[in-house]
Chains A and B, each alone.
Chain A
Amino acid sequence: MSVFLARRFLTFLITVSGASVIIFLLLEVLPGDPALTMLGVDAPDSAIEALRLELGLDRPAPIRYADWIAGLFRGEMGLSYVYKVPVTELIGQRLAVTLPLAIGAMVVATLAALSLGIFAATNHNRVGDYGVMGFSQLGLAIPDFWFGILLIILFAVILRWLPSGGFPGWEEGIWRGVRSLMLPVFTLSLSLTAIMTRVTRSSILEVAREDFVRTARAKGLSRRAALWGHVLRNALVPVLTIGGVLVSAVVTGTLVIENVFALPGVGKLIFDAISNRDLMVVKNVVLLFAAIVVVVNFVVDILYALVDPRIRIQA
């Protein structure tokens, strides 16, 4: 196990470092002068020169890269060029919206997917199963931003039950915050639910055909007892393997959904930063998201090896 862990950890380190190099190259080296990118071609030379000095762009790229990484180890991400505040502070404020959105959607999706997946598997090839599978097909085909727009039309424009967007801030009261996040959470959970439902269903069907389940049934266990006692705990292992897919979906989803509902989260921050050419913010937020994807994949690998010894032996 320790060899496996060491190998995985090494891969993890290489991947995160590689990601940081790619981000740096794509933003600060390949497009040419970052100061020119930030100010635009019409800016006077003196302004560009001043910004170049301010950002330390007169130093060679490898040194700037090393500075950036050293800063990250000290917990510093530099100053936002537009807001003139530390990028860490900006991200910290915005996470107060992004984290509840992401976690809320994961919770809703997990509960819905497990219920739907179990329901479909226990009604295999019957109307209920077809219904659930039809729903998951649709869930995969509906773009989440359009689903969000439809929810706004229904709940904000027609029924007027919930706000169409924006976020008042948690200091305005928990309930007002939760109300603002309801539609975004449901929107984000749609595609997650669709993916997880399919995996849960097919995994239960797969395990239910195993010999040990047949033995349990032959012993006299009812279908229900066999399902809850034997099938489920084994069937949930493969659901773990799509952890990586899910975290990609959540990262992508929050970026899109925050823009649909004008939520002041990290996803909105990065798109505002693109319009404002605030490279310092773009660079650090993209690395943060890429690192989250890599960390979750790493954790999923470890968990998977813990529950299935064959994986770590093969590795």
Chain B
Amino acid sequence: MAQTETVTTEASVAATKPDFIHRALRHRAFMIGLVLTGTMIFLALLSLFWTPHSPTEIVISQKLKPPSMSHWFGTDQFGRDILSMIMAGAQTSIVVGLIAVSLGAVIGVSLGLWAAARRGWTEDAIMRVSDLNMAFPVILIAILLTAGWGPGITNAILALGIYNISVFARQVRGAAIGMWEREFVLAARAAGKGDVAITFGHVLPNIISVIVVQATISFAIAILAEAALSYLGVGSQPPDPSWGRMLAESQKYIFFKPVIAVWPGLAIVLSVLGLNLIGDGLRDLVDPRLARRR
């Protein structure tokens, strides 16, 4: 087991150095990403206990009000407070992203590791299934699920999760094959270790950074996709708050109150931007060689 701790790749050496935090603090894009994503998570958590107004309460007398002290972002066509709806909508985005990315990561990473360890026909079979998976962009999977079972947030989660399986499988397989060719794996094999022990003891710990970076980027894509699916009516359904559906509803009032179409869009952009900046930053931080080349 001592081998695992002493023999690591340059990438993970960089990640475990004590100055990692210092470098992270000096990485401007990464820090901006952290602040944006932190704000989104904070608002989502806060909305579990408190929102300025109820995000679902309909007050027709207050409909389509411009921003004011009592409604910072104004109100929608049913008089609901837009800020409260955006705070509650963050919950939906985070929940969908978390479940979908975890689903894709757990199955995809396992398949990728398996393919890299066994090679031969096992790898071929896994990669062909992954090719098949790639033929269906998220939206097509969601369309099929909706046509068969009716619309719902579960479709969005499943569609994103299924799509992410092949994304993770491909990434992890590539990175893991590289590890299997390293001397320390040969040494472990010579010491009599089996595929499973090597995979979990040596290969997986050394490609964790690849998986974390991919998870961050997949999370960002999940937020965009969930919003798009809800906008199209095949994702989250009323009364669940959702940024995508807020935009779909605001479009009907675009000629009278265009401003209500601005807020949910901004929330999506800032969340996705935050996660993308974290992903890019992590990639630079765990592999400084790459950062210098960029």
B258 CB contact (under 8 Å) in A153, A290, A291: A153
By a CB distance below 8 angstroms, the chain A residues around B148 are 26-27, 30-31, 37
A275 to B143, CA, bound (A): 11
Greatest chain A CB density within 10 A among B128, B136, B264, B294 is at B136
Is A92's CB within 8 Å of the partner chain B? no
A275 to B150, CA, bound (A): 9
Interface pair B228/A27, CB less than 8 Å apart: no
Residue of B nearest to A251 (CB): B137
Give the Cβ gap from B251 to chain A, nearest Cβ, in Å. Answer: 6
B137 CB contact (under 8 Å) in A18, A144, A153, A248: A248
By a CB distance below 8 angstroms, the chain A residues around B233 are 271, 275
Residue of B nearest to A286 (CB): B140
Considering the complex, which residues of chain B in the window 243-260 have a beta carbon less than 8 Å from any beta carbon of chain A? 244, 247, 250-251, 254-255, 258
By a CB distance below 8 angstroms, the chain A residues around B247 are 143, 145-146, 149
Is B268's CB within 8 Å of the partner chain A? yes
Residue of A nearest to B29 (CB): A137
A206 to B273, CA, bound (A): 25
By a CB distance below 8 angstroms, the chain A residues around B149 are 31
Is A63's CB within 8 Å of the partner chain B? no
By a CB distance below 8 angstroms, the chain A residues around B269 are 138, 141-143, 146
Interface pair A27/B137, CB less than 8 Å apart: no
A178 to B140, CA, bound (A): 28
Given contacts A145-B231, A149-B265, contact A270 B143 (CB under 8 A): yes
Interface pair A256/B228, CB less than 8 Å apart: yes
A209 to B293, CA, bound (A): 10
B143 CB contact (under 8 Å) in A16, A205, A274: A274
By a CB distance below 8 angstroms, the chain B residues around A18 are 132, 135
Interface pair B147/A282, CB less than 8 Å apart: yes
Interface pair B232/A259, CB less than 8 Å apart: yes
Interface pair B228/A143, CB less than 8 Å apart: yes
Size of interface on B: residues with Cβ below 8 Å to A: 45
Is A242's CB within 8 Å of the partner chain B? no
Residue of B nearest to A32 (CB): B148
By a CB distance below 8 angstroms, the chain A residues around B265 are 142-143, 146, 149-150
A279 CB contact (under 8 Å) in B137, B147, B234, B244: B147
Interface pair A19/B144, CB less than 8 Å apart: no
By a CB distance below 8 angstroms, the chain B residues around A279 are 147
Is B82's CB within 8 Å of the partner chain A? no
**What 0/1 pattern do residues 121 to 135 of B give for CB contact below 8 A with A?**
000000010011011
Is A252's CB within 8 Å of the partner chain B? yes
Is A11's CB within 8 Å of the partner chain B? yes
Is A157's CB within 8 Å of the partner chain B? yes
Interface pair A26/B145, CB less than 8 Å apart: yes
Give the Cβ gap from B150 to chain A, nearest Cβ, in Å. Answer: 9
Give the Cβ gap from B234 to chain A, nearest Cβ, in Å. Answer: 7
Give the Cβ gap from B242 to chain A, nearest Cβ, in Å. Answer: 12
By a CB distance below 8 angstroms, the chain A residues around B134 are 244, 248, 293, 297
Give the Cβ gap from A244 to chain B, nearest Cβ, in Å. Answer: 7
B131 CB contact (under 8 Å) in A15, A140, A260: A15
By a CB distance below 8 angstroms, the chain B residues around A37 are 147-148
Interface residues of B (CB under 8 A from A): 128, 131-132, 134-140, 143-149, 220, 224, 227-228, 231-234, 244, 247, 250-251, 254-255, 258, 261-262, 264-265, 268-270, 272-273, 276-277, 293-294
A sample of 6 more A-B contacts (CB under 8 A), given A27-B144, A143-B268, is A14-B128, A27-B148, A145-B247, A153-B254, A286-B143, A293-B135
